[in-house]
Amino acid sequence: MNSFNAISVRDLTKAFKLYTSPRELFKEFIGQPPQEFVALDRVSFDVRKGEAVGIMGRNGAGKSTLLRIIAGTLDKTSGNVEVNGRISAILELGTGFRPEYTGRQNVITGGLCLGMTRKEIEKKLASIIEFSELEEFIDRPFKTYSSGMQARLTFATAVHIDPDILIVDEALGVGDAKFQRKCFEKMQQFRRRGCAVLLVSHDMNTVASFCDRAVLLQRGQVLMDDNAADVSRVYYQMLLGNGTAPDAPIMAAIGGEEEVAATPSPQATRTGTQKGAELIAYSLENEEGRLVNTLVSGQKFTVTIRARFDRDIQEPTVGFLVRDVRGVDVFGVDTFGARIPLPPCKSGEVLEFKLPCTMWLAKGTFFLSPSVGCIDDGATLDMHLDALCFSVTTPLRVHDISIVNMAPEFEHLSARVY
């Protein structure tokens, strides 16, 4: 393995044998193999030292199976996993912890399970308890702890191993916000000293903000391995759509090749009846009429949408929706709602819709979903969810945390001292 890598996974495959009855065991014994379920299918990726990699995917995609094999608690069927350094894995709450033991006793047994020596544990016991903030409860039975308290003790023990590789499977999700913050701070410290972090999470914001890279699994295969923000976005679109990412790009942006267009997402999900009209192009233009994927808060821009009709529509309607990365709808408009009639369209005609707007959102990444509909029968004919990804930058005078730009007029500011 390359010396920069902490983990190297090559063609990793895991097939679970499915025994539907005890007879199947017997059949296997006499040479008839049982049915198999392939949970991981030739998965390959690397994690570099000091890198934080998110593992994403819908329920059953194979994330836990992957982590368990890397952590060494589950056997692989084929392929190769190389690990360079000491692993500490939080695969589920209270790994190696006994419900009837006290918190203190469990730190000792759990620590031993996680690979610490008894001497090491004794040396770190006070620090583990302090990190968990459970001093008051540490001599009570573990089974009386809430799931958040269990998470605290599990995490506190696991991070005191001083691992080279930290593997965390969602366990942090149950701690309260303050404790989660503390855990992420601890994980950042690990990264700074070269520890690799592998984090399974369903939360795209966690992955996008904490991880450098992410691997998206779909039915046991690697669908995407890229920077965390892009993978999170695709994962989010999978969740919004039919659960799988389409194989091929479905959209092209309008415009000249030399110009930068807002990125049409290859993963856009189509909704609507898809009968009567289809969206054929859409784009964003700045005030100079240039195709852009970055808009400046406070400035004007134009949304252009083109739709082709394959039947006569007396009253078409066009609109779009803008969402942020968390999936919150931040703006929506359509000609029907605005009571602006569009001209009737005949089969074979293309309608071009251009709507000048002002960008009042503040800094961030957003997704635009264009749509075309038919007022005659009240249907959405075609809508491409989150099809255009664009970012907004704010002028210096708007604070970074802003969601919207209230356009402060500093030139008219008055300040009086009494």
Ligand X SMILES: Nc1ncnc2c1ncn2[C@@H]1O[C@H](COP(=O)(O)OP(=O)(O)OP(=O)(O)O)[C@@H](O)[C@H]1O
Q: How far is the CB of 59 from ligand X (least distance, A)?
A: 3
76 interacts with ligand X by CB under 6 A: no
Q: Name residue, tokens 């190389």.
A: 82
Ordered strands of the 165-169 beta sheet: 87-90, 165-169, 196-200, 52-56, 213-218, 221-227
Element (H, E) at 352: strand 350-358
Judged by CB under 6 A, the number of residues near ligand X is 11
Going by their DSSP bridges, the two strands 388-393 and 52-56 should be labelled as: unpaired
Copy the structure tokens of residue 411.
Answer: 């030139």
Q: Report how far residue 340's alpha carbon sits from residue 264's, in angstroms, rounded to the nearest whole number.
A: 27
Determine how many CB atoms are found less than 10 A away from the CB of residue 92: 13
166 interacts with ligand X by CB under 6 A: no
Determine how many CB atoms are found less than 10 A away from the CB of residue 37: 10
Q: Report how far residue 43's alpha carbon sits from residue 63's, in angstroms, rounded to the nearest whole number.
A: 11
Q: Tell me the per-residue interface mask from 198 to 237 with ligand X, x by CB under 6 A, - otherwise.
A: ----------------------------------------
Interface residue with ligand X, options 37, 311, 354, 377 (CB under 6 A):
37
- HSE, side-chain direction, 13 A CA sphere, residue 279: 35
Q: Report how far residue 12's alpha carbon sits from residue 417's, in angstroms, rounded to the nearest whole number.
A: 70
Q: Report how far residue 241's alpha carbon sits from residue 264's, in angstroms, rounded to the nearest whole number.
A: 16
Q: Name residue, tokens 């679970």.
A: 16
Closer of 65 and 369 to ligand X (Cβ): 65
Interface residue with ligand X, options 59, 100, 248, 343 (CB under 6 A):
59
39 interacts with ligand X by CB under 6 A: yes
20 interacts with ligand X by CB under 6 A: no
370 interacts with ligand X by CB under 6 A: no
Copy the structure tokens of residue 204.
Answer: 């795209």
61 interacts with ligand X by CB under 6 A: yes
Closer of 57 and 370 to ligand X (Cβ): 57
Q: How far is the CB of 38 from ligand X (least distance, A)?
A: 8
16 interacts with ligand X by CB under 6 A: yes
Q: How far is the CB of 216 from ligand X (least distance, A)?
A: 11
Q: How far is the CB of 181 from ligand X (least distance, A)?
A: 24
62 interacts with ligand X by CB under 6 A: yes
Closer of 75 and 409 to ligand X (Cβ): 75
Closer of 18 and 350 to ligand X (Cβ): 18
List phi, psi (to 5°) of 184: -65, -35
Interface residue with ligand X, options 60, 327, 332, 337 (CB under 6 A):
60
Q: How far is the CB of 67 from ligand X (least distance, A)?
A: 8
Contact residues: ligand X, CB under 6 A: 16, 37, 39, 57, 59-65
